[in-house]
Amino acid sequence: MRDSYKYLFLLNILLVLGARGVAHAQPASKAATRYPERPVRVVVPVAAGGGTDIIARLTISKLSEVAGQPFVVDNRPGAGGLLGNEIVARAQPDGYTLLFTYAAHTIVPFIYRKVPYDVYKDFTPVTLAGQQPLLLAVNTNVPANTTQELIALAKAKPGALNVALATPSSSGALAAELFKILTNTKMVSVPFKGGAPALTALLGGEVQLIFTTPPTVMAFIKSGRVKILATSGRERVPYLPEVPTLAEAGVKDFETAPWQGLLGPANLPAPLVEYLHTQIRTVLRLPETRDKFAASGTDAVGNTPVEFAKMINRELEQNKIVIQAVGMRAD
């Protein structure tokens, strides 16, 4: 009889503890299924009106519709994205402060001496929203009509060709330095304070080549004011079908391109990551979204969090090597 009482006593303790465990577990589960319960702040670390901001607003406005709560863009430009990135790196991982950033995310940690966060540890990748190819554009006076002719010209006249760097933190700047390394050529890198002055310099003959995005130069391609020798993508772009990729042109291992994607603070709960990824993937599959992306020369992607994380880590390692090799600095 005494053993029976002991058994019932232990059973009651286990039941109480189990009930308490369920009580503690329920709020987290319900919170995940109710998310978002209030407006979500999405930090975009660039000024309003630029290419990344346009892609961010297209994505975030549709995300608000499918989620049933406002996702609000908060532009925080400055220092190649450092200022906006820091806000999210310091935020609580509750899903109510997110980061819609761009390729500079994997560049600026290596060109600034002081970075107020750990780019490897302080963020949770959610999905790659969009990606654009880079175009290798040259001034029409350059006596080269193919990438190999350009390489031969650069090798025949070391230091005679100038390549524009829109800003140190741009994908185009990194692409230019990577191109010189992969082709073993010596060209003079000329830094500018943005894509517009860099393009003006190209048109005026101050520089002879630039790596830039399609929207930046499409009008000048059509008017015959620049020549496009190659694209950085794995496949040819549909609106320039006659232009080969750099790989087709003989420049292997050239993997750098502008992109935009969503991240959260470190330790963002897996259910929230999956929810955000699923909703954005839905948004990116909408014909209206895809058409608007295409109009800006952007491919809608929506890959998995794991795939996005691998891409970011691969770019961080590549960019670190290139930037240290050429000594790129922004401060």
List average pLDDT for each run of 10 residues in the chain, which is 331 residues long: 41 37 38 83 91 92 95 93 96 98 94 94 97 94 97 97 90 93 95 88 96 86 93 86 94 87 98 97 95 88 97 94 87 65
Q: How far apart are CA 223 and CA 132, in angstroms?
A: 22
Task: Quote the tokens at residue 244.
Answer: 């080969």
The residues, any chain, with a CB within 8 Å of residue 155's CB and separated by 6 or more, are 184, 185
Q: What is the pLDDT of residue 331?
A: 65
pLDDT at position 91: 98
The gap from C-alpha 146 to its chain's centroid, in whole angstroms, comes to 29
Q: Which of 252, 118, 243 is nearest to 184 (CA)?
A: 252
Give the contacts of 84 (CB within 8 A, at least 6 positions apart). Answer: 43, 44, 45, 46, 75, 76, 77, 78, 99, 101
Q: What is the pLDDT of residue 177?
A: 93
pTM: 0.81
CB 266 within 8 A of CB 93: yes
pLDDT value for 179: 95
